[in-house]
Amino acid sequence: MIHIHRLERYWMITVGIVMGGFMAALVASVLVYGVRLPTPVGRVDPTHLENTDLATPGLTQDSEHAYTLRVVAKMWQFDFGVKGQMPKITLQHGSSLKIVATSKDVTHGFYVEQHNVNMMLVPGQISEMDVVFTKPGIYHIICHEYCGPGHQNMIAVIEVL
Ligand code: CUA
């Protein structure tokens, strides 16, 4: 049995507890809090989106409480087929929304207030996330990656009734 100094042993035990705590937090974030990483689900040519599913961005209803939102981010707006400075979609609470998004120019962000949606939209890559809206409210979609002089104008609204 090798000799380990008493203080060194305390130090190793402390490190073990801290590492165990981090591991437990990681497991809890996935199993208890439902944290998911946004997954790259496909690649597209950002200069030829007209040949893809994202040719006509917009909201489609898949079943009674399930929707898909296709979004093309560009300098400096979120395009999902709704005109206006701050485009808006409206859903009933309890609805699930699959977001399928990409960028056609530079890297943008896609963050939904008070929900577990935080994606980078990288040109050439399709990002996808599912979210359920359980509470009525107004939730902004915000670009949280600096993308140029109009960055602060990239904002949209999800209204949950
Ligand atoms: Cu798009 Cu910041």
Q: Are 133 and 161 in contact (CB under 8 A)?
A: no
- Total Cβ atoms within 10 A of residue 158: 24
Question: Given this model, what pLDDT does residue 53 score?
Answer: 79
Q: Is 80 a catalytic residue?
A: yes
Cis peptide preceding 11, ω within 30 of 0: no
Residue-wise pLDDT tens for the chain (161 aa)?
788 899 999 999 999 999 999 999 999 998 998 887 766 678 888 888 887 878 888 899 988 899 999 999 999 999 988 887 889 999 999 999 999 999 999 999 999 999 989 999 999 899 899 999 999 999 999 999 999 999 999 999 999 99
Question: Given this model, what pLDDT does residue 159 score?
Answer: 95
Q: Is 133 a catalytic residue?
A: no
- Total Cβ atoms within 10 A of residue 73: 31
Question: Given this model, what pLDDT does residue 25 score?
Answer: 95
**C-alpha 14 to ligand 1 mean position (Å):** 43
Convert 28-47 to b/e letters by CB count within 10 Å (16 or more is b).
eeeeeeeeeebeeeeebebe
Question: Given this model, what pLDDT does residue 44 score?
Answer: 85
**C-alpha 137 to ligand 1 mean position (Å):** 24
Question: Given this model, what pLDDT does residue 54 score?
Answer: 83
